[in-house]
A = this chain, B = another copy of it.
Amino acid sequence: MTTPVITFWFEFASTYSYPAAMRMGALAKAKGVSVEWRPLLLGPIFAAQGWKDSPFNLYPIKGRYMVRDLERICASLDLPFALPDRFPQNSLLCARIAAAVEGPLRERFAQAVYQLQFGEGRDISDPLTAAEALRRAGLDAALVEKAQTDAVKQKLRASTEEAQAAGVFGAPSFVAGDGEIFWGNDRLEHALEWALKGHL
């Protein structure tokens, strides 16, 4: 029997991607599902839906609710939570680095970025924060510079287009091997169930 696979589409500016990124590893391992971590940029995807800003800013009442909801969820998971002063943040720098890093180190880098941003309130558009995330993941901090090549930029653009073509409209999203899409941290268990059984 082949190992079931899900694709985990994440965006560093996405709050709910934080608990998903922190929960994913252990849950997928327990279920025997293999995870492909893929960075994307929500900017072009939101623009295609007619949004020029984050839903947090477009709908302030809903935005405040989502911050509170996330705070509760993180508390229940014993995850630190500190919303950065500037929010949502510009995630481009870290998304390019994630696109440049392959294999299991991408997961470690992504978790370090989320931890810095939503666990410690740091600004991930700052190259010093990105370098710190690389160090925490056991990677070379020089990747902050080295990831800014045309090839990496193009790779990230292509990833975002691939996600969009698969039907992804938000983050986090999980796509099972048969193309079934699940959106949101609260659908992570559903996605893993589906990857295993083809139904919930």
Contact = CB atoms under 8 A, between A and B. Distances in A.
A169 B65 CA distance: 9
B181 A65 contact: yes
Contacts of A65: 167, 169, 181, 183
A69 to B, nearest CB: 7
Interface string A169-194: 11000000000011110110010001
Interface residues of A, number: 25
Given A49-B59, A187-B69, A75 B199 contact: yes
**How many copies, total?**
2
Contacts of A169: 59, 61-62, 65
A183 B68 CA distance: 11
A73 B193 CA distance: 12
B73 A49 contact: no
Interface of A: 49-50, 59, 61-62, 65, 68-69, 72-73, 75-76, 167, 169-170, 181-184, 186-187, 190, 194, 199-200
14 contacts: A50-B59, A61-B169, A62-B169, A62-B170, A65-B169, A65-B181, A69-B182, A69-B183, A69-B187, A72-B190, A72-B199, A75-B200, A76-B200, A186-B187
Given A72-B194, A72-B200, 11 more contacts: A61-B167, A61-B169, A62-B169, A62-B170, A65-B169, A65-B181, A68-B181, A69-B182, A72-B199, A76-B199, A184-B186
